[in-house]
Amino acid sequence: MRHPDVVVAGAGVVGAACAEALSRAGLRVLVLDRGAPASGTTAAGEGNVLVSDKEPGPELVLARASRRRWPELLAELREELGPAAAEAEWEPKGGLVVATTEETAAPLQGFAKAHRDVGIRAEPITLDEVASREPWLTRKLTAAIHYPEDAQLQPVLAATTLLAAVRARGGEVRPGVRAVGVRRGENGAVQAIRTDRGEFPCAAVVNACGPWAGAFAADCGAPIAVLPRRGLVLVTAPLPPGTVQHKVYDADYVGAVASGDAELQTSTVVESTRAGTVLIGSSRQRAGFDETIRFDVLRELARKAAALFPVLANVPVMRAYGGFRPYTPDHLPVIGEDPRLPGLWHATGHEGAGIGLAAATGQLLAELFTGRESTVDATPFRVGRPAVAEEVRA
Ligand SMILES: Cc1cc2nc3c(=O)[nH]c(=O)nc-3n(C[C@H](O)[C@H](O)[C@H](O)COP(=O)(O)OP(=O)(O)OC[C@H]3O[C@@H](n4cnc5c(N)ncnc54)[C@H](O)[C@@H]3O)c2cc1C
């Protein structure tokens, strides 16, 4: 493609969702990735599409829009591409958030009440109801909330489905091309993206480089604060169906998500996949791009998961892996045009929720790009806010 309208740098789930929404709006889109599509953080994502872990505020608004958009989008793509090319293992399985101590019961109940106040279904359930929903879950619980709106999909399949739609509409996806900056015209706006394979003329570039978005933004001369936040996950061998039915997590997970602490935190998150494996997460730590798989962290994850689901104490672990969440200091994604550099757009910084938030992020970016009325208020995600670009005055 010689003259795309837009070049998206980064073919993770967020770049793929932006490219899909832009091509749906009729734009010619070229997607570049220095590696293979969905080979970055997207490959590490557990695939949760959650409303339950977000406190009322702008991220929850985006999460609800995305929760509505994902099944609709996947159904549209199945129609457009056929069921074989558009299968992302969408499962509206619901979430179960539990408290295991007296100290965490009241905060969990308060959090659920705050959710109900803004219209989220957050249903307190009795221990008998818990037992009927999750027979293998510990009975040593002090509170439990059922979130029927929580869902799950397979992140790599979701990203490749979105990219298949881009190709089907005449767009192009090029793996193995590293973006190294942009060329600006005399008016200061983007004229081309610079890559290790030469320049591609275009009037707009979307920075969807995930945890590497800060580096690409700096290469463009418009730095933004996006940092890596490490996470490790354990994967069991396939278990009998029904061993774990919902996404189940300990109430302390919400505190770990919201915390900006650089130190290591672990909280228990357990869920099954369609393949039968059970994913056990997750840890959070800001330690740069250190790829070490730490056994002490894995041991802690395993210990806490077995306390929640005692049956897991005796199952084989198949593998462990890690990834880097794209973290911003105020825990909100960055979505919109850079006021310092016309034609440079950012869609990044979704930290531990980029899979869930991708569908609405793509939609919002395309709405802003084409000047249509936006589904959600984009102001909280603007590039020029102090936490992201201190020196920018939008
Ligand atoms: C352990 C773990 C569990 C998680 N679980 C969940 C979950 O259950 N639900 C959820 O919603 N989120 C989850 N997340 C977070 C989620 O995975 C991320 O928010 C999401 O994948 C970010 O997607 P992205 O497209 O922005 O980034 P990425 O997937 O990292 O994509 C960025 C792409 O940009 C490419 N790139 C980088 N630099 C360049 C360059 N200069 N030129 C060209 N290409 C470049 C990379 O190769 C990469 O493919 C989890 C994360 C981790 C680490």
How buried is residue 2: exposed, middle or buried, by Cβ count under 10 Å (0-12/13-18/19+)? exposed
- 355 ligand 1 Cβ < 6 A: yes
Q: Residue 287: what pLDDT?
A: 87
Q: Residue 107: what pLDDT?
A: 92
Ligand 1 mean position to 31 CA, how many Å?
Answer: 15
- 45 ligand 1 Cβ < 6 A: yes
Q: Is the peptide bond before 282 cis (omega within 30 degrees of 0)?
A: yes
How buried is residue 349: exposed, middle or buried, by Cβ count under 10 Å (0-12/13-18/19+)? buried
Q: What are phi and psi of 360, to 5 degrees?
A: -75, -30
Residues 350 and 353: their CA atoms lie apart, in Å, by 6
Q: Where is 248: in which H helix or E strand?
A: strand 247-250
- 349 ligand 1 Cβ < 6 A: no
User: Which DSSP state fits 340?
Assistant: T
Q: Which two tokens stand for residue 325?
A: 């969440």
Ligand 1 mean position to 316 CA, how many Å?
Answer: 28
> Looking at ligand 1, which residue's alpha carbon is closest to its atom 35?
10
**Distances in Å between the alpha carbon of 252 and those of 53, 124, 257, 258, 313?**
10, 17, 9, 10, 21
Residue type present at position 364: L
Q: Residue 394: what pLDDT?
A: 39
Which ranges constitute the DSSP H helices of 169-314? 213-219, 252-258, 295-308
Ligand 1 mean position to 224 CA, how many Å?
Answer: 17
- 346 ligand 1 Cβ < 6 A: no
Give which of 374, 289, 390, 291 is closest to 336, Cα–Cα. 374
Q: Which two tokens stand for residue 202?
A: 């275009």
| Domains in the chain, CATH or no CATH each | 6-79+155-226+331-381 (3.50.50.60), 95-148+227-327 (3.30.9.10)
Beta carbons of 361 and 333 less than 8 angstroms apart: yes
Count the neighbouring beta carbons within 10 Å of the beta carbon of residue 35. Answer: 15
Q: Any idea how long the chain is? A: 394
Q: Residue 251: what pLDDT?
A: 87
Q: For residue 193, give the 3-state DSSP assignment.
A: strand
Q: For residue 186, give the 3-state DSSP assignment.
A: coil
- 10 ligand 1 Cβ < 6 A: yes
Ligand 1 mean position to 382 CA, how many Å?
Answer: 20
Q: Residue 258: what pLDDT?
A: 62
> Looking at ligand 1, which residue's alpha carbon is closest to its atom 25?
12
Q: Residue 198: what pLDDT?
A: 96
Ligand 1 mean position to 310 CA, how many Å?
Answer: 32
Q: For residue 356, give the 3-state DSSP assignment.
A: helix
- List average pLDDT for each run of 10 residues in the chain, which is 394 residues long: 90 98 98 98 96 97 98 97 91 95 92 97 96 95 96 97 97 98 97 97 97 97 95 96 93 69 82 94 90 92 95 95 95 97 98 97 98 97 89 42
Residues 214 and 140: their CA atoms lie apart, in Å, by 44
